[in-house]
Chains A and B, each alone.
Chain A
Amino acid sequence: MSASRLPIAASLRFYRQHPLQLGLTLLGIALGAAVIVAVAIATRAAAVSFDRSLEVLAGPMSHELRAREGALPEAVYRELRIEHGIRFAVPLLRVRLLIEGEAVELVGTDPLAFLDLPGEAAAPGFGGGSLADLMVEPGAVLVPAALATRLGLAPGMPALALIGERRVRLRPIALMEAQGDDWLGDALLADMATAQTLARREGEIDSIQLRLDDREAQALQGVLPGNLELSAFNTQRRAFDDMTRAFRTNLTAMSLLAVLVAAFLVYNAMSFAVVQRRSTLAILRMLGATPRQLFHRLLVEATLLGLCGALIGLMLGVLLGQSLLVLVARTVSDLYVSVDALRPDLSPLQLLVALLVSVGSVLLATLSPAREAARTAPAALEREPAAGQGTGGAGLFLSGAGLAVLCPLLVAVSGDSLEAAFLALFLLVAAYAMLCPLLIRSLLRALLALTARVGDGRLRLVFRGVDSALGRTAPALIALAVAVAATVGVAIMIGSFRSSVADWLDATLAGDLYVYREASGDRLEPAWAARLAALPGVASVSVARQRRLEVDGEALRVLVLDASAVATRSFDLLVGDDESVRRVLADGAGVLVSEPLARRRDLRPGDTLRIAAPDGDLEVTLVGVYRDYASSYGAMVLPLAVYTEHWSDRDLSSLALVLAENADADALRRTVLDLGVDAGLELTVVSNGAIRERSLAIFDRTFVITDVLRALVVIVAFVGILSALLALFLERRREFAVLRATGFTPGQLQRLVLGQAATSGAIAGLLSLPLGVALSVLLIDVINRRSFGWTLEREFDPWVVLQALALAVVAAVLASIPPARRLARGDLREALYAP
């Protein structure tokens, strides 16, 4: 007596008779699955792209040795090979040059070192007769074949290149058939001596890449002098994972929200399908089908629907993922590390996970309707369902209230767990969904009471219609409310975030003009400070040096600042006060750290931090914590006086100019640019306004992907409300036909239907507001803080409320237009005698 004894043909034919209902249900499931797949494609592509760039950088090597400061003496390479007996070591010197106007990298290395590497790792082109030519011929280079084609280079044909302003002559001696992704595959290769001569950096190299196992790395680390730094490439991979974890988790949570809304849709569709087949189910019970058989039948049906919808969703997701790739690549590049154009790539496992999540959510959403179906009594044939049946009662409300209490408890006990925060968010949504039926009914009762007092019969008809349909439409209304609430919550969060960033930029950009070299990492000589200070119209100059230093064992962005008024004004302290800033920058009393760093490492004023300096470890005291939205990883501010005491580096990264009153900023900007040209440097000079504008543009770009996902969630909800209203109004066509028979014109009938839809939408909109605000609090104060470590000032824009209400009403009204038109145009006689 298994479920298979019940003919599945009846289910299939039911959906064949209701193609629109089937189509919308499948579309809802498909959209949910598509969003999961698209997000998985996009986030995986970002990670793969980073891996690829690391592969190009590291190839078969595991570690890299660099000087903590400046270039690495060539002698270190010899010592490594001879004294430490390290066989797999490759010295590298990277030189940027221009050929035919295109920027090209030339890598100087020791070709003989490649001969020692295992076969698969040997760089192409070093074999054969070219090796001797490469080491002997002045200016000899190996050219990647693709690059040669692009630039018109050929072996034996000399080529001219620019290094800075200087012309150099290259002699391509052979082509390398390398792929672009190969280790060093994009660069011109030269013997180390050639590269040093071309770059005028004799005796210097940039780094030595090594292939070491853990034991060898540990041994080498133990004997390295303090001015050398050995880093593992896989820690860079881990750092990327750490940095982007919050970003990926946020996107995944957004995609799960789409699935949650889709689950409401499925719940609604399956409930409706059960109600529509109530008579069939009762007949089956009368003939002896057990509740379990009916339950299984519904689950089999849901599994088939889930599989079909999810498969369509996987295909849609691949298409959608292509569009998201661009957005994710841009966001990851803006916020974290530069990644190339991404290629879609999805593992079978991820597809399987998306399929299981989708089908699982469909099954979960079907459990309740299937249980209802199983409970169908054979006697139900004789009774009509009560109005409002299925909206849940006090029990559901109390369960929801209990769940709502769990949310703050979970937040309170879960420490900094981002996953727990998202779980609390989903609990909150589930709790609110349980509270909704009673809230909706109370709202409608209030409206009915109001109309009874006003005595408006038509309005009463509208509200009665909505009230009597609640048993069928409540899940769709809740889905719409949840989707709109997500929109409200995210909109408040983004608004608060943007306003906080704008305030922070205003405080941070205390200079009028900022000067730095175009290529990041390129430095300016210290003399530039005095040169610019001497310009007419410049009131003062503040200097900054940006370095990556090892702080307590991790590489950290360190901002070295002087004690100028500009620097002192640039901080909005969250812990400490203006006096703390002055004590750090003017007195060299310690350091400041950014909020994300303080949060991540649980740092407090008075804590000691250890910075690896050329002359040994430097211990500094933490004095204050400042607001900083520039990095979610964290940064430190070190006073210039302390830096110059321990580091010999005197170069500058940027200069901030404060202009005298009435000074012409544009004229001064041109003057500084001209000074740069005279010195052979490509300087960038931007006003604080331009930086602010550019920063906010990046901010807005960052949230484009969130907006896209938010729109998808609303589309899923729209499909839900469309299918619910369509099915409901079509089912009530006899009732509407009676109204027409008693004198309602088609126009009046359409207005009645649209009025009921608008009322439903307005209810969903109103319901979305409390949840939206609660979600925004959770997003701003918990999830954002745990993701990025940033404190945001909450800002509530009343416009968001109006948008939410409009969105819900418009969605519901749009969804009701097709059924309203069908009802008004339909055959009255046929509708009156409909079964």
Chain B
Amino acid sequence: MLRAEGLSYSYREAGRDHPLFADLDLDLAAGERVALVGASGCGKSTLLNLLGTIDSPDGGSIRIGGTEVVGLREPERTLFRREHLGFVYQRFLLIPTLTVGENVRLPLDLLGLDAGETGVRVASALDAVGLADRSESFPDHLSGGEQQRVAIARALVHRPRVLLADEPTGSLDASTAEQVLDLLLDQTAAAAGTLLLVTHSEAVAARADRVLALEDGKLVPR
């Protein structure tokens, strides 16, 4: 489903290039749930952004569902992201001026789905994360766990091929984190999507089908 080959990326600081990784390979099968671990600053989130077409690598190839995304122009990358990818972040990243329902329906609006279909899917997604009755609430009025559940509903409502999650439980207490992780794994499985989950937590990583560690710019199986 997702194959990255020979990826390289460096960032520039104080006039010098600092390579983060070079010649990195990654292969995720359809429906696979993979955890990515590594020390702070090793490049986990950067790799996630490259795979999510949010950033561009210096070199290499990324194929998602048979489409080569490296080399796509910005508008094409945007359209690809809109249709095939979903994101969940540690900071939830909900739009504070939209209600829960409006946040969840946003990807469907962007895809241009008709109102009937959109309504059904949003209701179903909110029901799946247990927030059917909070559709009219604003994110500020929800707890951290609830906000992350809204983010999961929004990430999956358009049925993406790949879900990219960056420390999705990082800012939650242990009990809430457990519930959110259950939800994330269950929902991804229900949608038959592929999940790449960046985490610091060994316990979270242990729930994945496979664990990869990013060490010295290379992915090492654990």
User: Given A280-B97, A381-B89, do A288 and B55 touch, yes or no (CB 8 Å)?
Assistant: no
Cβ-defined contact, A6 with B54, below 8 A: no
Please report the C-alpha to C-alpha distance between residue A594 and residue B108 in the assembled complex, in whole angstroms: 76
Interface residues of A toward B: which range?
20 to 34
- CB contacts under 8 Å to A, within B85-114, are 87, 89, 91, 93-98, 102, 106-107, 109-112
Q: A289-B78, A379-B55, A382-B45 are in contact. Are A5 and B109 (CB under 8 A)?
A: yes
Residues of A within 8 A of B109 (CB): 5-7
B87–A286 contact, CB under 8 A? yes
Q: State how many angstroms separate the Cβ of B67 from the closest Cβ of chain A.
A: 15
Bound-complex Cα distance A763 to B58 (A): 44
User: Once the chains are docked, how many angstroms separate the CA of A280 from the CA of B95?
Assistant: 6
A288 smallest CB distance to B (angstroms) = 2
- A286: chain B residues within 8 A (beta carbon): 52, 54, 81, 87, 93
8 A Cβ contacts from A221-258 to B: none
B110 touches A9 (CB 8 A): no
Closest A residue to B105 by CB, please name it: A7
In the complex, chain A residues whose CB is within 8 Å of the CB of B112: 1, 5
Instruction: Check B221 for interface membership: any CB of A closer than 8 A.
Output: no
- Pick out which of these stretches binds chain B: A10-18, A95-103, A627-635: A10-18
Distance of B93 from chain A, by nearest CB (Å): 5
Contact A9 B78 (CB under 8 A): no
Q: Is A290 an interface residue (CB 8 A)?
A: yes
The reply to whether the CB of A285 lies closer than 8 angstroms to some CB of chain B is yes
Q: Contact: A285 with B78, CB < 8 Å?
A: yes
Question: A280 touching B79 by the CB < 8 A rule?
Answer: no
Complex Cα distance, B21 from A439, in Å, reads: 42
Which residues of A from 1 to 31 have beta carbons under 8 Å from B? 1, 5-7, 9-11, 13-14, 17
Considering the complex, give the chain B residue whose CB is closest to the CB of A280: B95
Q: A286-B87, A288-B78, A377-B54 are in contact. Are A13 and B97 (CB under 8 A)?
A: yes
Chain A hits for B32, CB < 8 A: none
- Which residues in A have their C-beta under 8 angstroms from that of B135? none
Interface residues of A in 268-303 (CB under 8 A from B): 279-280, 283-292
Q: Which residue on B lies nearest to A285, using beta carbons?
A: B78
B82 at the interface (CB under 8 A from A): yes
Flag B39-66 by CB within 8 Å of A: 1 or 0 each: 0000001000100101100000000000
CB distance from B165 to the nearest CB of A (A): 13
Measured CA separation A285–B54 after assembly (Å): 9
B98 touches A290 (CB 8 A): no
Q: Known: A5-B112, A7-B106, A7-B109. Contact between A287 and B82, CB under 8 A?
A: yes
Chain A CB within 8 A of B116 CB: no
Counting CB contacts under 8 A, is A124 at the interface?
A: no
Q: Would you call B74 and A291 a contact (CB within 8 A)?
A: yes
Q: When the two chains form their complex, are residues B96 and A287 in contact, meaning their CB atoms are under 8 A apart?
A: no
A378 interfacial contact with B, CB 8 Å = yes
Query: How distant is the Cα of A292 from the Cα of B79 in the complex, in angstroms?
Result: 12
Establish whether residues B97 and A9, one from each chain, have CB atoms under 8 Å apart when the complex forms: yes
Residues of B within 8 A of A835 (CB): 96
B79 touches A279 (CB 8 A): no
A677-736 residues with Cβ-Cβ distance < 8 A to B are none
Q: Which residue of B lies closest to A10 (CB)?
A: B97
Minimum CB distance partner of B55 in chain A = A379
- Interface flag for B15 (CB, 8 Å): no
A818-835 vs B: 1/0 string, CB under 8 Å?
A: 000000000000000001
Q: Judging by beta carbons under 8 Å apart, are B93 and A283 in contact?
A: yes
**B95, A10: Cβ atoms under 8 Å?**
yes
The CA of A284 and the CA of B79, in the complex, are separated in Å by 12
In the bound complex, how far is the Cα of B95 from the Cα of A285, in angstroms? 12
* A17 contacts across to B, CB distance below 8 A: 97
* Cβ-closest chain A residue relative to B49: A379
Q: Taking the nearest CB of chain B, how far is it from the CB of A282, in angstroms?
A: 8
Residues of A within 8 A of B111 (CB): 288
**Residue of A6, A10, A290, A377 touching B75 (CB-CB under 8 A):** A290
Q: Are B110 and A5 in contact (CB under 8 A)?
A: yes
Q: B107's closest neighbor in chain A, by CB?
A: A287
A:348-388 near B, CB below 8 Å? 377-379, 381-382
Query: Is B146 an interface residue, CB under 8 A from the partner?
Result: no
Is the C-beta of B83 less than 8 angstroms from some C-beta in chain A?
yes
Residues of A within 8 A of B89 (CB): 381
Residues in A with CB closer than 8 Å to B78 are 285, 288-291
Residues of A within 8 A of B45 (CB): 382
* Contact across chains for B97 and A379 when beta carbons are under 8 A apart: no
Min CB gap B170→A, angstroms: 14
Partner of B98 from A10, A381, A382 at Cβ < 8 Å: A10
Bound-complex Cα distance A290 to B81 (A)? 11
In contact, A9 and B107 (Cβ under 8 angstroms): no
Residues of A within 8 A of B49 (CB): 378-379, 382
Least CB distance from B143 to A in Å reads 15
Complex contact A287–B97 (CB within 8 A): no
B108's closest neighbor in chain A, by CB?
A5
Q: Are B54 and A7 in contact (CB-based, < 8 A)?
A: no
User: Which residue of chain A lies nearest to B78 when distances are taken between CB atoms in the complex?
Assistant: A290
Which residues does chain A contribute within 8 Å of B97, judged by CB atoms? 9-11, 13-14, 17, 280
Q: Which among B81, B87, B96, B102 has the highest number of chain A CB atoms within 10 Å?
A: B96
Q: Check A289 against B110 for contact (C-beta < 8 Å).
A: yes
Those of B108-167 within 8 Å (CB) of chain A: 109-112, 154
Interface residues of chain B, those whose CB is within 8 Å of chain A, are 45, 49, 52, 54-55, 74-75, 78-79, 81-83, 87, 89, 91, 93-98, 102, 106-107, 109-112, 154
Given contacts A13-B97, A279-B93, A378-B49, 8 further A-B contacts (CB under 8 A): A6-B110, A285-B78, A287-B87, A288-B81, A288-B107, A290-B75, A379-B49, A382-B49
* Interface CB pairs A-B, < 8 A, 19: A1-B112, A7-B109, A9-B102, A10-B102, A11-B97, A13-B98, A17-B97, A283-B93, A286-B52, A286-B87, A286-B93, A287-B87, A288-B82, A289-B82, A289-B110, A290-B79, A377-B54, A378-B81, A379-B54
